[in-house]
Amino acid sequence: MIIDLLKYKNQIILQGPPGTGKTRQAKLIASELTKPRIVGNPESIIDKLIKNFNTNDEVVKSTRESREKLLSKFYELFPKENIDKLTLENYCAGRGDRDNFCWWIETGLKLLGSYSPGSARSYLIYWKKAIEDYSKHGFVKEIEDNNEAMKKVAEFLSEVINSKNLDNSNQYFGDSFLLKLLNSYYPDEYFPINSEKMIDNALKIFKVNYQGLNVFEKNQKLNQVYIEKKKRLNVQLTSYEFGKLLWENFNLKTGENIVDNNDAVASGEYEIIQFHPAYSYEDFVRGIVADTTEGGSVSYQVENKVLADFAQKATDNPNGNYVLIIDEINRANLPSVLGELIYALEYRNEAVTSMYEFEGEREITLPKNLYIIGTMNTADRSVGHIDYAIRRRFAFVDILPDENVIQNPFAKKLFNEIKALFGNEFLSPDFKAKDVMIGHSYFIVKDEDELKIKLEFEIKPILREYLKDGIFLETANDIIEILNV
C-alpha cells in the first residue's frame, strides 16, 4: 500500500509520534524497492521501444531541429577544411567565452552526444587563469612558443578530421575526444557514444562480438547495429535518438543491468540522511566549496551534493529504483533547502535551473526512478510547519503506535498504562493523542530488566518533557512518577 503510494506520488512523508518505527519502515520500503529484479531481454526491450517511437511527436521534431541548427552553427564556425588554421583564441578553453572549439566539443554539442574530458589538459592547450597564461601538455608540453604549439595541435586535429587517420592518434589525444570529433563531423559513420565502456555495454545488449576491436571499430560496429535496426524495423529515428533509448533504459556506464544470460537485471540503491535546522541548499543540492591549489592559494568550485548526486545515479541507471530517505525532514527550512527543486519534485524528468553552474550546466533534473521518503516526528514542537507548496507535493502517511507488536506481557501492561495518559483527563486540548503518544518501539524488550531501564531513562524523561512543554496537564505528574514495572 505505502509502496504503491510512493510509486504514484514519488515522495512521501511518514509521520507520527516518537518510537513508532518511521525510519525502520522507510528502510524496509527502500530495501524492497531497490532489490534486484529481472526486467526482460535487453534487445527485445529496445526493439519494442523503436517500434513505438513516434517520429511525429512535436518534442521529437523540435529536438531534431535544434540538433541540426547546432551542427550547422558548428560547421560554420569550424569547417573541417580550416581546422589546421585553428588559433589559440578560437581553440582554447579557459577564458569563459562560448565560441571556442573546445567549448563546442564539450558543451555546445552536448545535445548530440555527451563528452566529458575530466580535465582541460585533455585538449593539450588551455588558458589557465591561475597563471594568466596558456598551459601546455602532452606532445606540445616542451614547445616554448604557444603559437607554435597550437599550430602542431591544429595540424594533428586536421589530419584526424579530414583524413580520418587514427594511426597512433591515441598517443596524443584521448579516445573519447577523438570519437567526439568524428561523430560530430561524420554523424552518419560514427555513433554518438564516446566512452569505450559504454560502447562495450551497448554492444552486449545486441550480443555483438567485439573482441580484438579497437574503440573506433567498436563504435562503428554499434553504428552498424543502429543502421540495421532502423532498416529492419522501418523506423526513421536518428542515431542520437537510438542512443538515447539505450542510455535511458540501461546503465551503460557500468553494465550492471546487462547480463550474459539474456535477461536485464535492474537494481537500485538507497541512502539515508538527516536534516537539521542549519541544513541548506548548499548542503543538500549544490554548493560552492573552497579548495587549496598546489601553490597554496584558495580556489572555489561548485560541487553536487547528495540530492544532485543521487539524481545523477538514478538517471544513469533508469531501470533501477533509487530511494533517498530524509530523517527528520521537518527540522530544516524546506523552502530554503529545496530551492527551485520544489518544482522538480512535481514535474519529474523536466530540467530546472540551479543557482549554481556545475560542469558548464545549471540544469538539474529529478528522474522518475528517484523516490524520496521523509520522516517527521509529529510531537516535535521545536520545528516549523511544512508550508502548503511543499505539502501538496508529498503524500503523508501516519505511522502510529501499534500494541500488537509488543510481545512482553509486562511491556504490554505498561504500554496501556501510559496510553491512558493520552486521554482527555491528562492531555492538553491543544494536542491530539495520535501526534504525541509514544510508540511501541520503547516497549519492545527481551526481559523485565531492559524494560525497567527503558522506563527510567527513555520513557519517563519524554513524559516529563511533555509535562514541561504543556502537552500534559499538571494532573499527569503524579501518574508519571508512580509508573513502574
Q: Do 255 and 278 fall into the same domain?
A: no
- Output the pLDDT for position 257: 65
Please tell me the distance from the alpha carbon of residue 324 to that of residue 124, in angstroms, as a whole number: 40
Q: Do 54 and 10 fall into the same domain?
A: no
- Output the pLDDT for position 116: 84
- Output the pLDDT for position 386: 79
Domain boundary among 398, 413, 432: 398
Number of domains in the chain: 3
- Phi first, then psi, for residue 325 (nearest 5°) are -95, 125
Nearest by Cα to 31 from 256, 266, 272, 270: 270
Strand order in the sheet with 370-377: 269-274, 322-327, 370-377, 11-16, 395-398
The chain-wide mean pLDDT, for the chain, equals 90
384 pLDDT tier (thresholds 50, 70, 90): low
Query: Which pairs count as long-range contacts for 284-288, CB under 8 Å and 24+ apart, including other chains?
Result: 284/337, 284/338, 285/337, 285/338, 285/339, 285/341, 285/354, 285/364, 286/354, 286/355, 286/356, 286/358, 286/364, 287/356, 288/356
Please tell me the distance from the alpha carbon of residue 187 to that of residue 170, in angstroms, as a whole number: 20
49-65 residue pLDDT tens: 899 899 898 989 999 99
- Output the pLDDT for position 21: 95
Q: Do 256 and 276 fall into the same domain?
A: no
435-482 residue pLDDT tens: 999 999 999 999 999 999 999 999 999 999 999 999 999 999 999 999
> Residues 6 or more apart from 349 whose CB is under 8 A from it?
365, 366, 367, 368
- Output the pLDDT for position 382: 61
* Cell, residue 367: 528522474
300-324 residue pLDDT tens: 788 888 999 999 999 888 888 999 9
pLDDT at 263 over 70: no
- Output the pLDDT for position 135: 94
> Residues 6 or more apart from 217 whose CB is under 8 A from it?
210
pLDDT at 260 over 80: no
Domain boundary among 398, 433, 456: 398
Q: Do 80 and 11 fall into the same domain?
A: no
Range 176-195 average pLDDT: 95
Minimum mean pLDDT range among 17-21, 112-116, 125-129, 370-374: 112-116
354 pLDDT tier (thresholds 50, 70, 90): confident
Domain boundary among 244, 261, 278: 261
Q: Do 343 and 330 fall into the same domain?
A: yes
Q: Do 225 and 240 fall into the same domain?
A: yes
- Output the pLDDT for position 301: 82
411-447 residue pLDDT tens: 999 999 999 999 999 999 999 999 999 999 999 999 9
Q: Do 21 and 85 fall into the same domain?
A: no
Q: Do 124 and 53 fall into the same domain?
A: yes
pLDDT at 210 over 60: yes
pTM of the entire structure?
Answer: 0.67
Exposed, middle or buried, 107 (CB in 10 Å: 0-12/13-18/19+)? middle
Q: Do 213 and 273 fall into the same domain?
A: no
Range 223-241 average pLDDT: 94
117 pLDDT tier (thresholds 50, 70, 90): confident
Q: Do 16 and 47 fall into the same domain?
A: no
Distance (Å) of CA 129 to CA 104, 116, 149, 299: 20, 20, 19, 11
Please tell me the distance from the alpha carbon of residue 148 to that of residue 405, in angstroms, as a whole number: 78
Residue 164's domain spans which residues?
A: 42-261
